[in-house]
Structure 1
Amino acid sequence: MLKKTYFKSLLLLIISGIFSSAFAQKTLDEIVALHLTAMGGKEKLSKLKSVKITAEMEVMKMQIPVTTTIVQDRGFRSETVVQGSTITQVIDNDKGWSINPMAGQTKATPLPDEVVKSLSAETDLTGLYNYKEKGQTLTLDGEDDLGGAKVYKVTQNMKNGSKRTNYISQDTYYILKVVASVTVQGQQIESKNTQSDFRRVDGITYPFTSEVETSAMPGASMAMKIKTLEVNPKIDEAIFVMPKE
């Protein structure tokens, strides 16, 4: 009888061990690896050098066209057309400039260093790929429920001092939401970007719909829908250089 009891206990321990291993929480490295695979894989991401995106942003019931051009680790340029005026914002390596006719700024004006620093991460197209080589650190901050979707919370500590918490789906391993925090002029600004409608373009996965909220505009939200997305187009990098006049 004692032997039978011992055998049953041993069997339960073995079965328990099997199930515990099967359902054990994934490590940070495993989650990142699965995410990169979902985004297209390391080989595709390593060859991603540029993108050009045309989109439409809805703000306060206005439909606003936006064109964004990015060259990996080189430059970022966005052109936003509001009521017939084009607002241009550019990051050119470690510098930046803007033109905003709606604010009476008709000539290119340098962006403050602090703003350039906060926007510097926008020239990175590859997200969590090679994060260590980029001077970033990641932490796994548990799990959460995002509108019924189970997610992992992975916080990304950026080289520029800002932070991003990535809510990674436990099902698809897409990033469903990003909460970013930056400090500008001594004020901490938080933005929340909820992503959906994931599609593959040239083997790389992108969210074609984003909804953004920011503490800089309390109560307002912006919805962005991508119309076209080009992967690795040829870009004349002169578009990032600030006009002299």
Structure 2
Amino acid sequence: MSKLTHLKALVIVLLAGVMHSVAAQGLDEIIDKHIKAMGGADKLAKLESLKITAEMDVMNMKVPITTIIIQNKGFRSETTVQGMTVVQAVNGNTGWTINPMTGQTKATALPEEAVKSMAAETDLTGLFKYKEKGYVLTLDGEDEVAGAKVYKVTMTLKNGIQRINYISKDTFYILKIIVHLKMNGQDIMSENTQSDFRQVEGIYYPFTSEVSTSAMPGTKMTLKITDLTVNPKIDPAIFNMPE
């Protein structure tokens, strides 16, 4: 390799390093503004649990859903369809379900991929302290969501699940999240568009979500939160798989 070629390669490496540094600075500034918009670091640091009561409008049905989460520990949802309640829960690295709609009246273990996906939902604070959580973030340019200009920030979790966050350049709320994961050996993409942000105990939450997934093509689901309780007392035993 000639000296000129060596010099060109060195310049490219140096420029790449400079551009990465600039991008990192811009990314951290965006995340800081997002954290402030969501209520601030002090409030998020004290977020330990949530109880969410919501109603999902899907396929001309109103489906009530109750979700209970303890930060980084447990997740449990109860969904009532046609008078039957489907339970899904994760406790650390294990998960289980009861689904009477399929004739299943006893708890059975969830597949590993489903556990991985649901376990990611036990992180209530998202981009907050992402470096300490071991998440990898990249700033991938700008886009638009329903006419609003957004930053496109991709977050890769420790378990490999990838989330693309579309952060408003105006409010710094996350207006849309696209998630890529594997389920039953297939690549699944879900899209969640968020709106109607409201403050509860000093933290802002989206009270309306429109969800679509490649697992159910052509089907759109609208989720509306009717009640949200911050830091309720929760018995961790509710995440344990019944015998």
Fold in common (TM above 0.5): yes
TM-score of the two chains, using structure 1 as the length reference: 0.88
Which structure 2 residue ranges, 5 or more long, are not aligned?
Answer: 1-21
- Counterpart-to-counterpart distance in 2, 1:148 and 1:73: 35
Q: Which amino acid letter does the alignment assign opposite residue 106 of structure 1?
A: T
Q: Which aligned runs of 4 or more in structure 1 are off by greater than 6 angstroms?
A: none
Matches within 5 A, 1:159-174: 159-174=158-173
Compute the displacement of 1:161 (Å).
0.5
The CA distance in 1 between the partners of 2:113 and 2:153, in whole Å, is 25
Which residue of the partner structure matches residue 143 of structure 1?
Answer: 142
Unaligned runs of 5+ in 1: 1-23
In the alignment, which residue of structure 2 is the partner of 1:199?
Answer: 198
- Matched-pair contact (CA < 8 Å) for 1:66–1:80: yes
SS at match of 2:34: helix
**TM-score under structure 2 length normalisation:** 0.89
The separation in 2 between residues aligned to 1:207 and 1:108, in whole angstroms, is 32
Report the Cα offset of residue 113 of structure 1: 1.5
How many residues are treated as equivalent by the alignment? 221
Residue in structure 2 matched with residue 112 of structure 1 by the alignment = 111
Residue equivalent to 2:151 = 152
Distance 1:186 1:219 in 2: 21
Q: Residues 1-245 of structure 1 correspond to what in structure 2 (within 5 A)? A: 27-244=26-243
Query: Contact 1:120–1:160 at 8 Å: present in 2 too?
Result: no
Alpha-carbon distance, 1:118 to partner = 2.1
Q: SS state of the match for residue 107, structure 2?
A: strand
How far apart are the structure 2 equivalents of 1:138 and 1:159?
A: 11
Distance 1:202 1:30 in 2: 25
Q: Percent identity?
A: 64
